[in-house]
Amino acid sequence: MKKLFAIIIGIFIICIGLAYGSQQLQKSTGDTGNKVLNLYNWGDYIDPALLSKFQKQTGIHVNLETFDSNEAMFTKIQQGGTSYDLTVPSEYMVEKMKRSHLLVPLDKSKLTGLNHYGSSFMNKSFDPKNKYSIPYFWGTLGIIYNDKMVKPGSLLHWNQLWSKKYRDDIMLVDSARDTMGFSLISMGKSVNTTNSNTLLAARNKLVKLAPNVKAIVADEIKMYMAQDEAAIAVDWSGEASEMMGNNSHLHYVVPTEGSNMWFDNWVIPKTAKHYKAIYEFLNFMSEPKNAAQNAQYVGYSTPNISALKLLPKSVQNDKQFYPTQKVIDRLEVYSDLSPAKVQQYNDLYLEFKMHH
């Protein structure tokens, strides 16, 4: 009997241990009750002070996990192992996730801050009527130049990058779509073209740019430009803002003939579980005061017009990051191209890189 009792006690202890382990596992994946929100965001892309403020205000604990590419995020959500409540895809990835049935439509009746967003940033081609997404940050692709090496105000057009005077002077951010994109714009073509002859012409034009290209790099481009390593770079506005913060001789230009306009957006993936927390958080982030604080921390352009009015005048009037409507009207958003076309863009870009 004693032995049987000991076995029963042993089983009981094991069960308690398993239950506790299961509870700890749930805690680590953020599945205990409703007082949790699992965020999947780009690295260093939200003010940590805002997450603390949100938790203090609502009692909801935010678990933050980060990714470094749209594709990595897509794969993780498609696999469905982790119950992410919100994530932040770029515009073309919203389209792709939507097509792959990975998104939950927004319940607009639970959103209180949509009136704060500017009409230029809503109802875009990748998500008509914002059925699935709320814009988080936006920006452009453009040219950064160092006024120690380039005369201020003299660099205004993509075609100028091909000038012989910029031999070995230009750094490019390592991105197939963006590099092919500015070559296409310089030819008066769309960044979403699927015409093979046009794409070949864009590649051939890039090959002619190769003598001017000093390096094709990723994140380290910010450090190089801040350290006067090159006269010119092609990169995104958010990265330009960071570079300029570290070197007062740097300036950012969106060429007048047009460029890419990118968006990062809040969406609810199919893995979501904590809906009450999701809507509390989206409304919290749409509050102008919070959106303004976040924009100052991240340094990217906010689509929240009410928040923009709370930012310093020097930011509001900075045409580099908040261009005029005339410039905005010439900007193109990337469409999600078919896998075959994406492969063609990548292959042609690699051929250009081999010439560099």
Concatenating the DSSP letter of every residue in 49-65 gives HHHHHHHHHH-PEEEEE
How confident is the model over 76-82, as a mean pLDDT?
A: 95
Do domains 32-138+263-316 and 139-261+324-355 share one topology? The answer is yes
Query: Where do we find the tokens 């403020």?
Result: 53
Confidence band (pLDDT; 50, 70, 90) for 12? low
Three-state DSSP at 282 gives helix
pLDDT at 2: 32
pLDDT surpasses 50 at 278 = yes
Q: Looking at domain 32-138+263-316, what is its CATH homologous superfamily?
A: Periplasmic binding protein-like II (3.40.190.10)
Average pLDDT value over all residues in the chain: 91
Q: Does 304 score more than 80 pLDDT?
A: yes
Question: What is the CATH architecture assignment of 139-261+324-355?
Answer: 3-Layer(aba) Sandwich (3.40)
> So what's the pLDDT on residue 63?
98
Helix (H) or strand (E) holding 232: strand 232-236
Q: Hey, where are the domains in the chain?
A: 1-31, 32-138+263-316, 139-261+324-355
Give the position of tokens 């076995």.
7
Q: What pTM does this model have?
A: 0.83
How many residues does this entry show for the chain?
356
Report pLDDT for 29.
Answer: 44
Q: Using 50, 70 and 90 to split pLDDT, how confident is the model at 349?
A: very high
Taking the C-alpha atoms of residue 317 and residue 176, their distance in angstroms, rounded to an integer, is: 32
Q: What is the structure's pLDDT at 23?
A: 45
pLDDT at 199 over 50: yes
pLDDT band at 33 (very low <50, low <70, confident <90, very high): low
User: Distances in Å between the alpha carbon of 21 and those of 8, 18, 26, 27?
Assistant: 20, 5, 9, 10
Which has the minimum average pLDDT: 17-26, 28-37, 44-53, 145-154? Answer: 17-26
For residue 28, pLDDT over 50 is answered with no
Sign of CA dihedral 347, 348, 350, 355: positive
Residue 67: CA atoms inside 13 Å, Cβ hemisphere, count?
A: 18
The residue to which tokens 């012409």 are assigned:
201
Give the pLDDT confidence score for residue 219 in this predicted structure: 86
Cα(147)–Cα(177) distance, integer angstroms: 28
Q: How far is residue 249's CA from residue 239's CA, in Å, rounded to a whole number?
A: 15
pLDDT reading at 7 higher than 70: no
pLDDT at 68 over 90: no
Report whether pLDDT(5) > 70: no
- pLDDT tens-digit readout, 174-190: 999 999 999 999 999 99
Q: What is the DSSP letter of 105?
A: P
Where are the alpha helices (H) located in the chain, listed in sequence order? 2-29, 48-58, 70-79, 91-99, 176-186, 196-209, 221-226, 237-246, 275-286, 288-298, 305-308, 313-316, 325-328, 339-355
Sorting pLDDT into bands at 50, 70 and 90, what band is 127? very high
Q: Count the neighbouring beta carbons within 10 Å of the beta carbon of residue 165.
A: 9
Handedness of CA 314, 320, 326, 329 (dihedral sign): negative
With 0-12 / 13-18 / 19 or more C-beta atoms within 10 angstroms meaning exposed / middle / buried, residue 180 is buried
Portion of the chain with pLDDT greater than 90, in percent: 86
Q: Are 154 and 207 in contact (CB under 8 A)?
A: no
pLDDT (average), residues 202-213: 98
pLDDT digits (tens, 9 = 90+) for 209-263: 999 999 999 889 999 999 999 999 999 998 999 999 999 999 999 998 999 999 9
Q: For residue 156, give the DSSP letter.
A: -
Decide if pLDDT at 10 tops 90: no
Number of other residues whose CB lies within 10 A of the CB of residue 16: 10
What's the confidence (pLDDT) of residue 356? 79
